[in-house]
Amino acid sequence: MQNKIKGVYLVTDRSLCLHHTLEEVVRLSATGGVSLVQLREKETSSREFLELAIHLKHILTPFQIPLLINDRVDICLASGADGVHLGQTDQPWFEARKLLGEKAIIGLSIETKEDWENLQKEHPNPNLDYLAVSPVFDTKTKTNTKPAWGLAGVRWLRENTTLPIVAIGGIHLDNAKEVIEAGANSLAVVSAICSANDPKEATIALKNMF
């Protein structure tokens, strides 16, 4: 699945969907050529999270765009989503791999160089589909993160791994090209699409940076 990890990666946030419903944002980004969609729901109940996941999977299936679930392996399994995105404090990725199988897309956030070094010590060849360098720039959508990596951090990780790199945090049209040139295979964006007047056009504009 690693070849799927390229281009524009939408991370959802209902509170930032200013002009359209979340479902409409996802549908419009799909028509604009988004590569992946991650459903991130921090405040909702498990039941509502599951219902939303099933609904988004239904929207994305005709476009053959994978749906990833943030943090929750159980929601991924129950909804038939294509994989999970895991943080450093979530269920260990290798346990998620056992539960979800080889075909699932599993990505892991790397927030510090220490996170990377620990991963290398324990799993020199991790069975992951991508690493998310987080955050590249400071961002209001993720307030509990470690210091920003910057472009130098993206370059450093690119030199140290052959896995696809997803860059997230403060990425928008004005800095997208620099992040790609630093070595990111995919750009994960939240407000750049969720808050756009036209999520389809916003997706196309970002996609054209590659």
What does the pLDDT look like over 22-73, one tens digit per residue? Answer: 999 999 999 999 999 999 998 899 999 999 999 999 999 999 999 999 999 9
Let me know if 208 is exposed, middle or buried by CB neighbors in 10 A (0-12, 13-18, 19+): exposed
DSSP-assigned letters across all residues of 19-65: SS-HHHHHHHHHHTT-SEEEE--SSS-HHHHHHHHHHHHHHHGGGT-
User: Which residues are annotated binding-site positions?
Assistant: 38-42, 70-71, 90, 109, 139-142, 170, 190-191
Helix, strand or coil for residue 11? strand
Q: For residues 151 and 175, what is the distance between their CA atoms, to the nearest angstrom? A: 10
Write the pLDDT tens digit of every residue in 84-105. 999 999 999 999 999 999 999 9
Write the pLDDT tens digit of every residue in 30-41. 999 999 999 999
Check: CB of residue 141 under 8 Å from CB of residue 120: no
User: Which residues are annotated binding-site positions for Mg(2+)?
Assistant: 71, 90
pLDDT at res. 63? 97
